[in-house]
Amino acid sequence: MLPLSLRFLAREWRAGEIRVLLLAVALAVASLTAVAFFGDRVKQALGREANTLLAADLAIASDHPLAYDFAEEARQRGLQVSSSAAFLSMAQTGKKNLLAGIKGVDAGYPLRGSLRVAPAPFAEDAPTRALPGPGQVWLDSRAASELGVRVGGEVELGAARFMVAAILTFEGERGGNFMALAPRVLLTAADLNKTGLVQEGSRVSYRLLIAGADQDVADFRDWCEPLLARGEKLEDVRDARPELRQILDKARRYLGLAAVLTVVLAAAATHMALRRYVQRHFDQYALMRCFGASQRRLLSLYFLQLAGLGLAAGLLGTALGWVTQLALANLLGGVLRLGLPAASWQPFGLGILAGVALILAFALPPLLRLARVPTLRVLRRDLGPVAGGAWLAHLVGLALVAGLIWWQAGETRLALIVSGGVLGVMALAAALIQAVLWPLARLARHLPPGPRLGLLGLRQRGWETTLQAMALSLGLLALLLLTLVRGDLLDAWRNQVPEGAPNRFVINIQPRQVAPVQAWLASHEVPNVMLYPMIRARLTAIEGRAVRLEDYPEGRARNLAEREFNLSELSTLPPSNELEAGHWWWPGQTSGFTVESGIAKTLNIHLGDKLDFDVGGLPLSGHVSSLRKVEWDSFRVNFFVATPPGAMSAMPKSYITSFHLPPQRGAVLADLVAAFPNLTVIDVAQMLNELRGLTDRVSQAVQLVFLFSLGVGVLVMLAALYSRRAERAREIGLWRTLGASKRTLRAALASEFALLGLLAGLVAAGAASVLAWVLANKVFDLPHTPDPWIWLFGLGGGMLLVLLAGWFATRDLLDEPPLMALRME
């Protein structure tokens, strides 16, 4: 059976019968794998980029020196290893002391990304691969200013003295939550030992840093996970930097969406091509039945042929996809400013599997249709397959495609939404054809001959027209949906770190300095800054129950329960805050709390709970009257807990403010500190730049994948229109034989394609609007702005695209001599 089917396949290939099918499926697979390959590489690159902010690919964090020698194992596996140990301790100069975050690092730190240093606070900085030398430390500008020490000065840490060698301006590991972190002092691990600060019982947070090839890191992760003891945990960038995780997750989802929609396009193209293939085999099937082949034998023969074809298409498509992404990466690597790592092998498997699955999924129903072709067709060519449901086969096909979608989506919700959308579009397209096209065709006799022929042709082909409209609608849906979601995504990223976002924070402003500082800033072209009071307090009881550490086994909750809060007084809900439960202050309300919903959840605080704080020995209590959702990555001044204005008027407090200062005006800060020596300035410009750089790159990657999918969508639609070429040629030949002029035929084709495009555009625009909204809300968690232009794009673009593609697919047929066309099979 196999040799015979291979022989038949070879014959069909020579005859050119299956080339269109092979090409359609190979193209579909190529698009799928190109997106997969490219997406995979971009994802890896972005992951690596993000890892610079973790300083590694993987970290093992612990609150004690690691019991097991993970580092040795990692080195033996060829991975890069470094480590850090950080804790809070006093740093001293002759005059001042400061509770600082001391961090000792090993050679090679950071394994990903680099530190940046400057010769003086607020001076221009540069990346460095070096670490502080023996007897040296690097301070961040906050530590330097609070200790009142300059580069070249001395700092005392425990039992040792160190020379300040540079100002540390960027340290990827610190993340966005800088307010929680103490001023930084960085030195080498060897020097850290000299301080004698790390002793039995010291609260030190250790991190073993690992970097290497993705697979090696993943293997290492799998290996060490079961060996971790209590208080040891694995961290990758997702755990360590939630704000980056959000960006990467959204990018990953977008790539997933592009891949899923490519699957849908591929499915539509394969379906069109296979229908045509099977129709062209009605005669062959009947003839072979007539020659005595059993139904089972013939179906097996076709099945094997198609499976072989699927394999060939899978291989060809995967190769094509690989070359395409290679070209794409070469072309765009520079634009992306990302070193793209080599593609993984997974897309190869995906491509080959997709080729076979696509063909088999769509071959099954028409193959069973073939089985219904009566053998009598050899005598009566008008006999087609006996009508009847191949429901099971259709279901199997749909299930296969659904499986492919689910696999590509990477998450059930996205897969379900897209699948639902696709089914909806198909139903809508079919319904619209019934509701619009058929009645319209009834009016055809009032039209000039060209459009009349076009309309009647559409109606005459009935189910074929419906199918074509479905395929075109799906193609357009993919294009429009990717456009809409891309828009939402880019807007969100642009807004995440908006131009002019606050990049300097000033703290320690004393109550009597509020007006002078405001005036000083205004006179230095930094107008309208808001100053918020900040009161340090410790949470002592919730609903009358004392807050005890042992009640919170989870690390984050423990940290929060233990540390001091910065309370504030707020009169209005600040920007980047959103009320989630309860109400904002009643007029005249003087007690109560508004609590950030994340911390409320962690510490198990509910609306209406009574909270007790200890503010430097003074009690402060009240009930929680609202819960707020805070965008922590907005880089504004935000507070976990706040009271109404006046509730803490008797408490000792200082003020905090934030503002945006263009990089070239950094010197203003030095002047500010000179004018008000007690102020502390925190500079987050570099961190913002890093984050903005990341979103920029992710945006570019998303744009590219979008453009690529767009191109593939157009190609696939073209393939769908090409699949009816032979019938079209015969039709045109017949019309021309019956005396239709080229002009009439051109008008007929134009009106047919325009109408199909218009209809498909209408369905696609409607569906894309709804789906974009659903995706933004349910999958991407993005604010969605409805885009009325999508209707113009859908209708106008759909019409234009189908017209163009149709013209391209039929342009030479009008010039064929009618006899040739009539003889075309």
Partner 1 sequence: MVGEAPALASNGPLSNNKRQKTFMRIDIENLGKSVQVGEDALHILADVSFSVNPGESVAIVGSSGSGKSTLLGLIAGLDVPSFGRVLLDGENLFDLDEDGRAALRGRGMGFVFQSFQLLPGLTALENVMLPLELAGQANAAEVARGHLEQVGLGERVRHRPAQLSGGEQQRVALARAFAVAPRILLADEPTGNLDVHTGAQIIELLFELNRAQGATLVVVTHDPALAALCQRQLRLEAGRVVAN
Nearest CB to partner 1, comparing residues 289 and 504: 289
According to DSSP, residue 590 is labeled -
Our finding on whether 4 is near partner 1 (CB under 8 A) is: yes
Q: Which residue has the tokens 């109400």?
A: 583
Our finding on whether 276 is near partner 1 (CB under 8 A) is: no
Smallest CA-to-CA distance from 313 within 715, 705, 31 is with 31
Q: How far is the CB of 285 from partner 1 (least distance, A)?
A: 11
HSE-CB at 781 with a 13 A cutoff on CA atoms is: 7
Q: How far is the CB of 290 from partner 1 (least distance, A)?
A: 6
Our finding on whether 290 is near partner 1 (CB under 8 A) is: yes
Report the alpha-carbon distance of residue 797 to residue 475 in Å, rounded.
Answer: 12
H/E stretch holding 414 reads helix 412-432
* Residue 110: cis peptide before it, omega within 30 degrees of 0: yes
Q: How far is the CB of 375 from partner 1 (least distance, A)?
A: 5
Q: How far is the CB of 423 from partner 1 (least distance, A)?
A: 36
Report the alpha-carbon distance of residue 409 to residue 259 in Å, rounded.
Answer: 7
Our finding on whether 90 is near partner 1 (CB under 8 A) is: no
HSE-CB at 630 with a 13 A cutoff on CA atoms is: 23
One symbol per residue from 652 to 691: x for binding partner 1 (CB under 8 A), - otherwise; what is it? Answer: ----------------------------------------
Among 375, 576, 699, 703, interactor with partner 1 by CB under 8 A: 375
By the 8 A CB rule, do 377 and 286 touch?
A: yes
- Interacting residues of 707 by C-beta distance below 8 A, sequence separation 6+: none
Our finding on whether 289 is near partner 1 (CB under 8 A) is: yes
Report the alpha-carbon distance of residue 550 to residue 553 in Å, rounded.
Answer: 6
Q: Which stretch binds partner 1 (CB under 8 A): 6-14, 78-86, 305-313, 440-448?
A: 6-14
Among 88, 181, 293, 573, interactor with partner 1 by CB under 8 A: 293
Smallest CA-to-CA distance from 702 within 690, 714, 694, 691 is with 694
Q: How far is the CB of 457 from partner 1 (least distance, A)?
A: 24
Among 177, 202, 294, 678, interactor with partner 1 by CB under 8 A: 294
- Interacting residues of 539 by C-beta distance below 8 A, sequence separation 6+: 547, 561, 565, 603, 611, 612, 613
Question: Phi and psi (nearest 5°) for 19?
Answer: -65, -40
Report the alpha-carbon distance of residue 556 to residue 771 in Å, rounded.
Answer: 37
Our finding on whether 287 is near partner 1 (CB under 8 A) is: yes
By the 8 A CB rule, do 475 and 763 touch?
A: no
Nearest CB to partner 1, comparing residues 815 and 825: 825
Q: Which stretch binds partner 1 (CB under 8 A): 9-17, 78-86, 338-346, 566-574?
A: 9-17
Nearest CB to partner 1, comparing residues 19 and 413: 19
Q: How far is the CB of 268 from partner 1 (least distance, A)?
A: 25
Nearest CB to partner 1, comparing residues 12 and 106: 12
Report the alpha-carbon distance of residue 159 to residue 568 in Å, rounded.
Answer: 38
Nearest CB to partner 1, comparing residues 135 and 374: 374
Q: Which residue has the tokens 């021309």?
A: 736
Our finding on whether 388 is near partner 1 (CB under 8 A) is: no
Question: Phi and psi (nearest 5°) for 373?
Answer: -75, 125
The interface with partner 1 within residues 14-43 (CB under 8 A) comprises 14-17
Report the alpha-carbon distance of residue 688 to residue 667 in Å, rounded.
Answer: 19
Q: Which stretch binds partner 1 (CB under 8 A): 8-16, 47-55, 71-79, 335-343?
A: 8-16
Our finding on whether 387 is near partner 1 (CB under 8 A) is: no
By the 8 A CB rule, do 710 and 479 touch?
A: yes
Among 11, 64, 96, 629, interactor with partner 1 by CB under 8 A: 11
One symbol per residue from 432 to 471: x for binding partner 1 (CB under 8 A), - otherwise; what is it? Answer: ----------------------------------------
Among 123, 234, 378, 800, interactor with partner 1 by CB under 8 A: 378
Q: Which stretch binds partner 1 (CB under 8 A): 4-12, 159-167, 479-487, 599-607?
A: 4-12
Report the alpha-carbon distance of residue 264 to residue 774 in Å, rounded.
Answer: 18
Our finding on whether 486 is near partner 1 (CB under 8 A) is: no
Nearest CB to partner 1, comparing residues 163 and 293: 293
Our finding on whether 12 is near partner 1 (CB under 8 A) is: yes
Our finding on whether 374 is near partner 1 (CB under 8 A) is: yes
Our finding on whether 130 is near partner 1 (CB under 8 A) is: no
Number of chain positions touching partner 1 (CB under 8 A): 30
Among 95, 230, 380, 512, interactor with partner 1 by CB under 8 A: 380
By the 8 A CB rule, do 759 and 437 touch?
A: yes
Report the alpha-carbon distance of residue 370 to residue 736 in Å, rounded.
Answer: 32
Our finding on whether 283 is near partner 1 (CB under 8 A) is: yes
Count of CB atoms within 10 A of residue 330's CB? 10
Report the alpha-carbon distance of residue 458 to residue 802 in Å, rounded.
Answer: 14
Report the alpha-carbon distance of residue 665 to residue 140 in Å, rounded.
Answer: 19
Residues that bind partner 1 (CB under 8 A): 4, 7, 11-12, 14-17, 283-284, 287-297, 374-376, 378-381, 823, 825
